[in-house]
Amino acid sequence: MASPSGSSADGSGKAQEAPQTSEKAREVLADDYYFMGIAGLAAKKSKDPMTQVGACIVNQEKKIVGVGYNGMPRDSKNLPWSRNAEKEEAERKYLYVCHAELNAIMNKNSADLKGCTMYVTLFPCNECAKLILQAGIKEVVYFSEKNDTPASTAASKKMLEDAAVPLRKFEPKEAIVIDFSKLQHHSAK
């Protein structure tokens, strides 16, 4: 796994000497990478053939209190995933799909989300901005911006700014790779 908290174990930027003991140096993931990583992993569960979005809500104690991804409403079976602009509106996904942010909020495992931060892989639309504000979320960290719905994006920014909810872009400097072979634990002999 990459160690985005810094290439040196102590964050000084200086190369670290090899550990003298048999204890292996640990890579410690920085908070933003961890929480956006969880949002990114959740996105991978989405069945949207075009755009997979994930969201992860974190409370002030840095505990995860909700995770979600974009998907069709619970128990729905035959709703369309098409985005084809030539089709009737009722045959396209947009009227039906639950956004990742909505699902993360609905999936919350705490009494409320006051003071929480939402990590989301795509810039929230105006409808999600309303949910975020009404839930009492106090910071939004996003990753990508598609800008194919400029009015929605502008309205979302306007509402979040108006309510003084900071909006921050996550700009990763490296990848997170989970190598399961490195998570294989062996008993010490």
Q: Which residues bind ligand 5HU (CB under 6 A)?
A: 48, 50-51, 53, 70, 83, 93, 97, 99-101, 122, 124-125, 128, 149
Angle at 60 between CA 179 and CA 104, to 5 degrees: 65
- Annotation-wise, does 186 bind a ligand? no
125 annotated as a binding-site residue: yes
Q: Using CB distances below 5 to 8 A depending on partner kind, what does residue 43 bind out of ligand 5HU, Zn ion, none?
A: none
53 makes contact, choosing from Zn ion, ligand 5HU, none, with CB < 5 to 8 Å by partner type, with: ligand 5HU
Residue 148 burial by Cβ neighbours in a 10 Å radius (0-12, 13-18, 19+): exposed
101 is catalytic: yes
CA distance 126 to 149: 10
| 92, 137 contact by CB (below 8 A) | no
- Choose which of 125, 133, 155, 159 interacts with Zn ion (CB under 5 A): 125
Q: Which amino acid does the sequence have at 154?
A: A
Residue with smaller CB distance to ligand 5HU, 14 or 146: 146
With CB under 5 to 8 Å by kind, the binding choice for 83 among ligand 5HU, Zn ion, none is ligand 5HU
128 is in an annotated binding site: yes
Tell me the C-alpha distance between 101 and 120, whole Å: 7
Query: Alpha-carbon distance 73 to 97, whole Å?
Result: 7
Q: Which of 86, 91, 101, 174 is catalytic?
A: 101
Structure tokens at 79: 């709703």
Nearer to ligand 5HU, 31 or 48 (CB): 48
Residues in touch with Zn ion (CB under 5 A): 99, 125, 128
